[in-house]
Amino acid sequence: QIQSSIFNQRKAHSPGHVCKNILHVPVSGLLFGPWFLCRNEDLKEMLESNKESLKLEAMKRIVGLIAKGKNASELFPAVVKNVASKNIELKKLVYVYLVRYAEEQQDLALLSISTFQRALKDPNQLIRASALRVLSSIRVPIIVPIMMLAIKEAATDLSPYVRKTAAHAIQKLYSLDPDQKEHLIEVIEKLLKDKSTLVAGSVVMAFEEVCPDRIDLIHKNYRKLCNLLVDVEEWGQVVIIHMLTRYARTQFVSPWREDAVFDENSAKAFYDSEEERRVDQSKPYIMDPDHRLLLRNTKPLLQSRNTAVVMAVSQLYWHLAPKHELSIITKSLVRLLRSHREVQYIVLQNIATMSIQRKGMFEPFMKSFYVRSTDATHIKTLKLEILTNLANEANISTILREFQTYVKSQDKAFAAATIQAIGCCATNISEVTDTCLNGLVLLLSNRDETVVAESVVVIKKLLQTQPSQHSDIIKHMAKLFDNITVPMARASILWLMGEYCEHVPKIAPDVLRKMAKTFTDEEDIVKLQIVNLAAKLYLTNSKQTKLLTQYILNLGKYDQNYDIRDRTRFIRQLIVPNEKSGALSKYARRILMAPKPAPVLQSAFKDRDRFQLGTLSHTLNSQASGYLELSDWPAVAPDQSVRNVEVVEPVRLPCIYLVFKDNVKNSESEENSDDSNKSSSSQSEKSSSESDSEKKKTLKNKKPQQQKLDSKDSSPVFVPETSHELLHRMTGKGLSAQYRFTRQPCIYGNSMVSLQLTLSNSTDQALENIHISEKSSTGQNIHRFNAIERLEPQASVTVSMGVDFNDSTQAANFQLCTKEDEFSVSIQPAVGELLLPITMSEADFTKEQGKLVGMNESSATITMTPENVSSQSVNRKVVSVANLGVIPSGQENIYRFSGKTVSSGSLVLVSVVLKDPDAVITINTEKTVMGSMLLRQVKTALTNSGP
Amino acid sequence: MIHSLFLINASGDIFLEKHWKSVVSRSVCDYFFEALERATEPENVPPVIPTPHHYLINVLRHRIYFVAVIQSEVPPLFVIEFLHRVVDTFQDYFGVCTEAAIKDNVVVVYELLEEMLDNGFPLATESNILKELIKPPTILRTVVNTITGSTNVGEQLPTGQLSVVPWRRTGVKYTNNEAYFDVVEEIDAIIDKSGSTITAEIQGVIDACVKLTGMPDLTLSFMNPRLLDDVSFHPCVRFKRWEAERILSFIPPDGNFRLLSYHVSSQNLVAIPVYVKHNISFREGSSQGRFELTLGPKQTMGKAVESVLVSSQLPRGVLNANLNPSQGTYTFDPVTKLLSWDVGKINPQKLPSLKGSMSLQTGASKPDENPTINIQFKIQQLAISGLKVNRLDMYGEKYKPFKGIKYMTKAGKFQNDCHLLVIQKIAG
């Protein structure tokens, strides 16, 4: 009772409640707005607070909003302020936000640009790379020139990771402003020459997006790409393989000729005497070695765990390999069928296309295509398609037995598809037509309607091939007719009756009689066939059917569907002769009873091979946007020599390459590229050493230029005594090593930094054969010290070595070995140690400084502690940080230092201007990265008090 | 390449979106929902759906649809493989890949997606590289971060990104050095109603968990490498060495990874470890049917068959089943008509059986479909193909690692959807 009273109360209250709500709607609407603002206001406040953790929390919530697809754009001004945050996670989240909303808030987005420009010069490669990533993702057309500049700069960055990002940025800029195409192609051309496996995939991707038709850019890089391929990351492999497939189809002749000889040194080519060959008009096919190289280098990738790579190699073989080599891809493709369902779907589609042309490839694996009850419907139908394609005289009985179990499947749509497949097999293989037909007739007594209907449709198609022998089947179907309700099946039976009415002269008129009764209730396709049947019977058996036909034609005349009205009118004119009907009615019988060709049951994958396998277009069977057509083989191979490149001796590769790069930086690239073009591969070794020396010459040629400025290499002002630990005695099992920078020009090479290594043995046994392993893990060129044969217990020895850091603070990693052990060690140079001091006059200094402005200049203002202000102290602090020469200064408050980078010899100019109590540090150098790193170190040195 | 990604749950809500190029409106997913409506089962949604301006490529895992939006030609497998890699990464980071886990870690998810693709092209997909960039969330770290204000985001470029062995980071240290290898084999088979095998295949994987200090170089050799017919490797395996000597030589990634997956050549006869005896009959005119099922072990080399689970889709006409299992429990869902019987371990002395009656719809005709029976099971300490690891050696480091190798045989194809070992075609 209580409950019911409460219920009543509620009931009584509820209308009032609703009323209240209605009354409140405008108010709550007003309230809602401020409340919502409030919430964002709250986030705004958090973003503007001083606490890092609050800001981070706010950004995390904003990212949550973005992820849910909510609009957070009004927070833009508050967020963009944090773009320069020190906290890297906060910074990254701001980047995420910026990229999402910059397009909508272009003006405000511009505020952040300078931060990225600064970050582009950061010594940390990850920061440089992510700055470029974000900068290029801000889709604001005004910054196109800035992006272009940044991309060009990053494309020559020392870090391959940054260069990879540059390759990605190319595509972004291209989609923002296609007018930049020509400039971007230049960058692509440069990056294509890159030898880093990290860059290769990304730059080929850029190539495919920006200029896929510039096949000429690939020639010189073709062999390199083939050889790098195995080591490229898997996504890059897919892109490169697809591109090389297209390339190969334009450059090599077809290997598919019937008389082809596939191997250069195959028996036939060997035994063919000269005369015979001259007699033989057609030259035997010899595969271009570059074509062979591609096939050989992609083959191991069939074993990749990445299904996209396996598919890419498979399509490459399908489109490029001689037919007899195709079989190697079969196993790998079948293996992919054990992967995820979506992978199966794509692979099965491709196999379906292949199996039409080449049954033999997949026939041994027929059982892999057997359908499982747990397969998804689209997988089942594809498997059915393939099984149908694979059917031949030998295996048809096995396949049909398998099909029989499918017909009984609980998935009726699949059962219907199986019946279609049986029909296909029956027409393709004449031996089994009768068996199939009998089987299908048995299915007519199936309880499921879809199965029966599908069988009728398929039987109709089959009967058309040989109707005379099958009047009993037609009779059987006529009997079934009353129980079949599926319109398509009814229509099919009626058509059969009409077409072969002479074989069933007694039944057909009776069927027509029944149809006349139900005409108005039938579906349209059935009605059309009734009219057809009536017309045909009228022509063959007018005595019995004249009245029926007229009745049906009258019904049709007033049908609601105008298709049926039209057909009826046409038939009437055709078969019932009257004075108006012309010559046509004379031919009525010939028109209606003309023998009709049997329908061809074709695979849906018949013409899919017009698309390159493995592509989206192939999957959809229609051309997707951006699809690149695979060209036909050329009749005559284009010039092969375009792919020839100067082969350099592999061991010396990094060194030469780096020297070469330096020259590019020094704007002498034209001269150099001329050099490399001139020298051909045949004289590889010689020419490489020649070009090496040539390049050294060019370097030397530069020196006089500098000497004109009166700058002289000088001895270091200050050599720090501090040494750094290389190997601790605990990790080194008693062997410890320390290193220090001598700051002297290295005697082992002009571009090397000289190092002193002190090795001590703290064990109680002598250590033997201490040396540096030959295989260095990073790219640096290292001059090893001579192996120390024996180091007595508690003894130590000092040796010197040289490392070409290539003007980068990237650590040099190498293996320090004893007789028994190997220790991985690394030397991380401070930027100041990568310099050599030079002296020059004050005038020259200002002149050079004037040349190195803009991007090449970085500066900072600091507050000096009083004890640091003295000239001695400034000088001492700067030279202790960096190996620079001091330039005698005329002005009291200005200090100048100069040096050059060890590897490339670029000028590095440092000036410190004191303006009590502040000081401005300016660093000018082409090596912007080093410049900004050096700036930071000088800054900390000058702000720290102490000696 | 990949324009945007939408995550859609089983009830059709978009719960996460991420765009790598300009923003694509989420209304593009309407085409996907149309396809979803048309599909009878969640698995039946076609993986590639064309729309007027975009193409949608989706994968379904853990009841979540990952829908990628594509604008122009791209190899579809490229996208599919990548999406699966995303799921694997989520699983690796959060332990599970569910809607709740993704929503709870939405910031990490976003940071991950940001690192994994740049402008729609994969940038970093190796799990060890990602883990250096973005540390996986743990309770301890979350607490520490809130107190100290430190972040989950790495400040340096991961060492792997530039090295020749991108899958391994440098400076790995463990106090206990261990390497475990699991050889797991799965049998796929179809057996017809008379009990004879139509197809049977074995495929196996070697999953490894390697926790070794420094840069170890491992070699793994087999007693009978000829058994392996078709293999695919983790990128760390040196292919040349395998070609020449049939030895797996590699510098392993740190932690869990799949070293190898293989297929056992079809020439070898496959031993079928269990058999099923069944009798399902319906009498004409009666609304009752009989159901009898007995399982037994066969060719198991003396090892016990465990975690056996039998499931079968009964004909639509069956209203209910009243059965009596000799062991384990069974359920019958009257809506989906799915019968599943959790058997447990098979005792060879006392074979498990499931007997009883089924009630049919009154007046319904005798079902004519053949029900199929799917079986899952596990056999510990046995690789059914007979594959045996010969030895595991380590070079490059001095310490002695602990090594362990485990064998297991399972039924099933892959994933957790109906593992199908034996489809018994049963007479109606």
Enumerate the residues of chain A whose CB falls inside 8 A of the CB of residue B243: 300
CA closest to B235 among chain A residues? A304
C-alpha B174/C-alpha A334 separation (Å) is 40
**Kind of pairing, strands B288-297 and B274-282?**
antiparallel
Chain A and chain B share a number of CB contacts under 8 A equal to 257
Q: In chain A, what residues touch B258 (CB-CB under 8 Å)?
A: 305
**Interface test mutation site (partner A, options B118, B172, B374, max chain A beta carbons within 10 A):** B118
Region of residue B363 (left: phi > 0; alpha: psi -120 to 50; beta: else): left
Extents of the domains making up chain B? 2-148, 178-270+382-416, 274-380
| Residue A33: other Cβ atoms inside 10 A | 10
Least confident of A136-150, A174-188, A242-256, A881-895: A881-895
CATH class in words for B178-270+382-416? mainly beta
> How does residue A124 score in pLDDT terms, banded at 50, 70 and 90?
confident
Q: Which residue of B has its CA nearest to A825?
A: B171
* pLDDT for residue A9 is more than 60: no
| pTM (predicted TM-score) | 0.69
Decide if B77 and A125 are in contact by the 8 Å CB cutoff.
no
Minimum mean pLDDT among A263-267, A846-850, B259-263: which range? A263-267
> Which of B75, B203, B316 is facing A308, going by the closest CB pair?
B75
pLDDT tier for residue A260 given thresholds of 50, 70 and 90: very low
Q: What is the pLDDT of residue B143?
A: 64
Kindly indicate the confidence band of residue A681, based on its pLDDT and cuts at 50, 70 and 90.
very low
- B115, closest residue in chain A (CA to CA): A130
Q: Per the CB < 8 Å rule, is B155 touching A341?
A: no
Pairing of strands B14-19, B255-264: unpaired
- Count Cα atoms within 13 angstroms, Cβ side, for A636: 2
Say yes or no for a CB contact (<8 Å) between B80 and A92.
no
Mean pLDDT for the stretch of residues A930-947: 78
Chain A neighbors of B166, CB-CB under 8 A: 233
Is pLDDT of A11 > 90?
no
Interface mutation vs chain A, best among B4, B43, B51, B77, most A CBs within 10 Å: B77
Query: Residue A327: pLDDT above 60?
Result: yes
Q: Is A805's pLDDT higher than 90?
A: no
| Cβ separation A100–B23 shorter than 8 A | yes
Q: How far is A625 from chain B (nearest CA, A)?
A: 5
Cβ neighbours of residue A938 closer than 8 Å, sequence gap 6 or more: A877, A878, A881, A882, A910, A912, A921, A923
Give the total residue count for chain A: 947
Distance from CA of B106 to the nearest CA of A (A): 6
For the cut 70, the answer to whether the pLDDT of residue A677 exceeds it is no
Name the H helices within A138-179: 144-155, 160-176
CB contact under 8 A, A96 and B114: yes
Binary contact (A331, B15; C-beta < 8 A) = no
Q: How far is B390 from chain A (nearest CA, A)?
A: 23
Q: What strands, in cross-sheet order, belong to the sheet with A753-761? A: A724-727, A735-745, A753-761, A796-804, A781-783
The H or E element containing residue A292 is helix A289-298
Arithmetic mean of pLDDT, A894-922? 84
Confidence of residue B162 (pLDDT cuts 50, 70, 90): low
Residue from A471, A427, A433 nearest A597 by CA: A427
Q: Which of A450, A449, A443 is nearest to A422 (CA)?
A: A443
B1 contacts in A (CB within 8 Å)? 205
Res A873: pLDDT: 79
Higher-confidence residue: A772 or A713?
Answer: A772
Which of these, B64, B76, B74, B73, lies nearest to B6 by C-alpha position?
Answer: B64
Helix (H, G, I), strand (E, B) or coil at B149: coil
- Looking at the predicted structure, is the pLDDT value of residue A697 above 50? no
Segment B298-321 mean pLDDT: 81
Which CATH number is correct for B2-148, 3.80.10.10, 3.90.1150.10, 3.40.50.150, 3.30.450.60? 3.30.450.60
Contact B190 A202 (CB under 8 A): no
Please name the member of A95, A368, A372 whose beta carbon is closest to the beta carbon of B423. Answer: A372
* pLDDT (mean) for B240-264: 87
- Best B53, B56, B81, B155 residue to mutate vs chain A (most A CBs within 10 Å): B81
SS3 (DSSP) at B268: coil
* 3-class SS letters over B359-388: EECCCCCCCCCCCCEEEEEEEECCCCCCCC
* Rg of chain A, C-alpha, whole Å: 41
Q: What is the mean pLDDT of residues A239-245?
A: 94
With 90 as the cut, is the pLDDT of residue A492 above it?
A: no
Which comes out higher in pLDDT, residue A604 or A167?
Answer: A167
Rounded Cα distance, A386 and A605, in Å: 10
Cα of B345 to nearest chain A Cα, Å: 25
CB distance B50–A620 less than 8 Å? Answer: yes
pLDDT average, residue stretch A694-701: 44
What pLDDT does residue A148 have? 93
- Beta pairing, strands B402-411 & B178-191: parallel
Of B57, B239, B313, the CB nearest to A410: B313
CA distance to partner chain B, nearest, from residue A401 (Å): 11
Instruction: Tell me which H or E stretch contains A66.
Output: helix A52-67
Higher-pLDDT residue of B230, A313: A313
Residues 6 or more apart whose Cβ sits within 8 Å of residue B52: none
Question: Angle at which helices A197-210 and A234-251 pack, to 10 degrees?
Answer: 50
Complex ipTM, two decimals? 0.85
Q: Which residue of A has its CA nearest to B78?
A: A308
Minimal CA separation from A119 to chain B, in Å:
13
Which among A340, A374, A376 has CB closest to B84?
A340
> Which of the residue ranges A49-53, A662-666, B201-205, B364-368 would you say has the lowest mean pLDDT?
A662-666
How far is B129 from B110, CA to CA, in rounded Å?
Answer: 16
Any idea which of A77-91, B126-140, B403-417 has the lowest mean pLDDT?
B403-417
Residue B23: list chain A partners with CB under 8 A: 100, 103
Q: Which residues of A touch B146 (CB under 8 A)?
A: 53
Say yes or no: do domains B178-270+382-416 and B274-380 share a fold. yes
Phi, psi of A289 (to 5 degrees): -60, -30
Q: Which of B21, B59, B199 sits opposite A340 (nearest CB)?
A: B59
Task: Please say whether the beta carbons of A223 and A643 come within 8 A.
Answer: yes
Higher pLDDT: A281 or B127? It is B127
Instruction: Evaluate if residue B152 carries a pLDDT over 90.
Output: no
Give the gap in angstroms from C-alpha A48 to the nearest C-alpha of chain B. Answer: 17
Residue in chain B nearest A629 by alpha carbon: B73
CA pair distance A674, A655, nearest whole angstrom: 20
Ranges A424-438, A579-593, A695-709, most confident:
A424-438
> Using one digit for the tens of pLDDT, what is the confidence trace for B62-110?
999 999 999 999 999 999 999 999 999 999 888 889 999 999 899 899 9
Q: Nearest CA of chain B to the CA of A261: how many Å?
A: 27
Q: B274-380, what's its fold? A: Immunoglobulin-like (2.60.40)
Q: How many CB atoms lie within 10 A of CB A647?
A: 16
- The per-residue pLDDT for B282 is 72
**Is the Cα torsion angle B159, B161, B162, B165 positive or negative in sign?**
positive
Nearest C-alpha in B relative to A159: B162
Q: Quote the CA–CA distance of A706 and A112 in Å, as a whole number.
A: 39
Check whether B425 has a pLDDT greater than 60.
no
What is the distance between the alpha carbons of residues A23 and A329, in angstroms, rounded to a whole number?
Answer: 73
Q: Do A625 and B198 touch (CB under 8 A)?
A: no
pLDDT grade for B266, boundaries at 50, 70 and 90:
low
Tokens of A200: 């290769």
Question: What's the token pair of residue A59?
Answer: 């950004």
Question: CB–CB of A224/A643 below 8 Å?
Answer: no
Return the percentage of chain A with pLDDT > 70, whole number. Answer: 83
- CA-closest candidate to residue A703, choices A419, A907, A462, A869: A907
The DSSP code sequence of A597-625 is PPPP---TTTTGGGSPTTSHHHHHTSPPT
Six token digits for residue A213: 């038709």
